[in-house]
Amino acid sequence: MIGNHIRIALSSLRASKVRTALTTLGIIIGVTAITLVLALGEGAKQAVGQQINKRGSDVITVRPGKVERNEDGKITGYNLTAAIGATTITESDLRSVQDVPGVSKAAPIMLITGSVRDGETRAKSSAIVATSPALKDVANLELRYGQFLTDKTNRQTAIIGNELAVELYGTENALGRQLTLRNQPFTIIGILKKVDHAAIVTGFDYNKSAFVSLDAGKSFNQGIAQIQEISVIPADQKQSDQVAERIENVLLRNHDGEEDFAVIRSDEAVQIANSIFRLLISITTAIASISLIVGGIGIMNIMLVNVTERTREIGIRKAIGATNGSILSQFLIEAMLMSLTGGIIGIALAYLIAIFLSGFVGYLPALSAPILLIAFSVSLFVGIIFGIFPALRAARKDPIQALRQLP
């Protein structure tokens, strides 16, 4: 019976190919949008976890903002507004963190806005990062050429990422070349190897950045260190929680009891990033769903037209014994076929677009069974919801009235 319904549905849809294609297009657009959002969002979450692990599972991060914790000490919320506002982390905080018992190394991150140039050639999407020699070990950085910053290197020296070197000089080996940062000359003394934990975690791309000493960074900002982050490695990984607690207590004293900072462990960093991504995915999915609703309305509209045009068929089928359930199933299957076809095409199109976009966002989209199941289920659900009303209307037609409309 179902096989017969499907054959009749396919025949009916093929009879009006253009109308069927245009109706299916709305579902394709909606499913493509939702699948693309889910695939990129899940891919970003996976990339964050991988990149944080590559930085080190024992790294403790101090950032502006405030985290909310439950009675068990687990993070339940993060004040993102405070995090992206003016930093509350000072150079005094850095010194205090470095002196905390159990801290092996602590590296500041001070992001500076400004041009990165070689003569008249200006780098695109580059960053200036003021830091300390400890960053090399904290961030697991490796050098391809030269050396990293030390306490003895000249203030007017810089380390650059390999992609920045290629962009400005056409080669990775740019040792000894002159670099202009915010109209000040710097000599390149080191080139980094390619780094995987890029902007999605740190807020800047190591491969496209220029690194200078904290003193040099302060010279760009009227002698003031505006530190966006302090990354800490404990001397003993097993004591990571205790070290983080000591850091928090020290900073609370520095800030007169005001908790305008966050001390975050590596696993908590993943948790915070995932919660932010979940929020963004939810918002964008809700927006993308609007196009799917429009596509569903298109299916309902075309099915109502089909019911009107096929009144003769409905009357004849009922006259020879077709039940209301049989008529309902017939038209509902037609709506579901259009929706499922659009869903399958939309899923395939979404992953093609996501793979193309991965070259720009820096990570691969997630191709997972749950995402495929969600996208497929959504398309099926739309077909049922928006196809049920036309199907009921067809099933409830009076056969005598339908036959009276015969020519």
Q: Which of 43, 23, 18, 29 is nearest to 378 (CA)?
A: 29
Token code pair at residue 290: 């609007």
Average pLDDT over residues 356-360: 76
**Which residue in this structure is represented by tokens 């670099």?**
179
pLDDT number for residue 366? 77
pLDDT > 70 fraction of the chain, expressed in percent and rounded: 85
Measured CA to CA, the distance from residue 275 to residue 322 in angstroms comes to 53
Q: Which has the minimum average pLDDT: 58-67, 80-89, 346-355, 395-404? A: 80-89
Measured CA to CA, the distance from residue 175 to residue 81 in angstroms comes to 40
Is there a contact between 32 and 350 (Cβ–Cβ < 8 Å)? yes
pLDDT number for residue 147? 92
pLDDT number for residue 138? 86
For residue 288, give every residue at least 6 positions away whose Cβ sits within 8 Å of its Cβ, in sequence order, or none: 30, 33, 34, 36, 37
Q: Is the pLDDT at 146 greater than 70, yes or no?
A: yes
Q: Is the pLDDT at 388 greater than 70, yes or no?
A: yes
pLDDT > 90 fraction of the chain, expressed in percent and rounded: 18
Strand partners, 103: 234
H/E stretch holding 303? helix 266-309
H/E stretch holding 81? helix 80-83
H/E stretch holding 98? helix 91-98
**Phi/psi at 41 (nearest 5 deg)?**
-65, -45
**Which residue in this structure is represented by tokens 């289920």?**
377
Q: Which has the minimum average pLDDT: 47-51, 82-86, 185-189, 331-335? A: 82-86
Average pLDDT over residues 7-18: 73
pLDDT number for residue 361? 67
DSSP letters along 107-152, please?
EEEEEE---EEETTEE-SS-EEEEE-TTHHHHTT--EEEE----TT
Q: Which of 309, 372, 295 is nearest to 338 (CA)?
A: 295
Q: Is the pLDDT at 247 greater than 70, yes or no?
A: yes
Give the distance from CA 150 to its chain's centroid: 36
Q: Which has the minimum average pLDDT: 65-69, 166-170, 305-309? A: 65-69
Q: Is the pLDDT at 199 greater than 60, yes or no?
A: no
Average pLDDT over the chain, rounded to an integer: 82
Pairing of strands 103-112, 127-131: antiparallel
Residue ranges of alpha helices (H) inside 170-236 are 199-202, 214-219
Average pLDDT over residues 233-252: 87
Q: How confident is the model at residue 99 (pLDDT cuts 50, 70, 90)?
A: very high
Measured CA to CA, the distance from residue 330 to residue 8 in angstroms comes to 8
Measured CA to CA, the distance from residue 178 to residue 122 in angstroms comes to 13
H/E stretch holding 262? strand 261-264
Is there a contact between 271 and 69 (Cβ–Cβ < 8 Å)? no
Sorted by where each begins, the domain ranges of the chain are: 2-50+273-404, 89-259
Strand partners, 181: 116, 184
pTM of the model: 0.69
pLDDT number for residue 159? 94
Q: Is the pLDDT at 406 greater than 60, yes or no?
A: no
> Which amino acid makes up residue 76?
T
Measured CA to CA, the distance from residue 402 to residue 407 in angstroms comes to 11
Q: How confident is the model at residue 374 (pLDDT cuts 50, 70, 90)?
A: confident
pLDDT number for residue 190? 93
> Which amino acid makes up residue 130?
A
Q: How confident is the model at residue 291 (pLDDT cuts 50, 70, 90)?
A: confident
Task: Note the pLDDT tens digit of each residue in 200-224.
Answer: 556 688 888 999 999 999 888 888 8
Which 8-state DSSP code applies to residue 78? E
